[in-house]
Amino acid sequence: MANSTIVTGGFVRIEQTPASLADRIFAVLIDYAVCFCYAVGVIELFSRLYLSLDSVMEMFLWVAPVLFYPLYMEVLNGGRTLGKMVMRTRVVMADGSTPSIGSYLLRWLLIIVDGPIICYLGVLFVAITKRNQRIGDLAAGTMVVKEGKYRSFRINLNEYDYLTKDYKPTYPQADELTMAQSELISRVLALKDESRPTRINELAGKIRDSFAIKEVAQTDEAFLNTILQDYQYYALEAEI
């Protein structure tokens, strides 16, 4: 499953994994089961109390909690219904921020389109959209993500002074570097002990071998600095 990568206006890069179609279906089924148990429980309670659901108020007290369940659970529980809690998913904005009440409300209102009334059209959209978004998500600018599978890191803009609009990466292979690999390069370049030259030489050789970089008209240290800058270009500038 592809990650969704966002660079926010505050220069926080977020990698988050959209919840799969199976995750979302199981979460909905769990929520349906919760609502069903509530509805049956209310009927049983009224039956034991020799009451009937024949007044508007009684019907409202029976139907409203089920009808509004997804909305108030997501608003009050950080984008999670009970089903989402079990499946370890939650609703977030597509940029990784917390949805507003208006966003929650809009995606809830569009359940009428996404759900069983229009033949579960939302299932189709979750299956075909890049971020696994149903129609309500697309309209509200939200997405459902897997909890614990997104990472963020803050970028110090002072480190990017050299990145101008005309910056051209030297090594396109830098786009394949991971965050952990870039941090390793930074740590090795920051070494100040006597092992620094050896470790720079070993790391530069390993990177060249791993990414099949044949000819390098630079010293090992200059090569590491360049590939790190190229990585930063792909990680930040190419996403904005």
Vertex 70: Cα angle to 65 and 76 (nearest 5): 90
Average pLDDT, the chain: 82
- Tokens 């608003």 correspond to what residue? 75
Tell me how many domains the chain contains. Answer: 2
What letter represents residue 179's amino acid? Answer: M
Of 90, 121, 146, which one is at a domain's C-terminal end?
146
Domain that holds residue 93: 4-146
Vertex 119: Cα angle to 115 and 124 (nearest 5): 80
Stronger pLDDT, 25 or 158, i.e. the higher one: 25
How far apart, in whole angstroms, are the C-alpha atoms of residue 17 and residue 197?
A: 39
Stronger pLDDT, 39 or 14, i.e. the higher one: 39
Span of 30-34, 132-136, 181-185 with lowest mean pLDDT:
181-185
> Do 105 and 205 fall into the same domain?
no
> Do 115 and 224 fall into the same domain?
no
> Do 163 and 201 fall into the same domain?
yes
How far apart, in whole angstroms, are the C-alpha atoms of residue 51 and residue 49?
A: 5
- Residues constituting the chain: 240
For the chain, what percent of residues have pLDDT higher than 70? 82
Stronger pLDDT, 5 or 145, i.e. the higher one: 145
How far apart, in whole angstroms, are the C-alpha atoms of residue 153 and residue 183?
A: 12
> Do 85 and 27 fall into the same domain?
yes
Q: CB atoms < 10 A from the CB of 2, how many?
A: 9
CA 97 from chain centre, in angstroms, equals: 10
> Do 20 and 130 fall into the same domain?
yes
pTM over 0.85: no
Q: What are the C-alpha distances in Å from 83 to residues 6, 65, 240?
A: 26, 16, 34
What letter represents residue 213's amino acid? Answer: I
pLDDT tens digits for 94-128?
A: 877 789 999 999 999 999 988 877 777 888 999 99
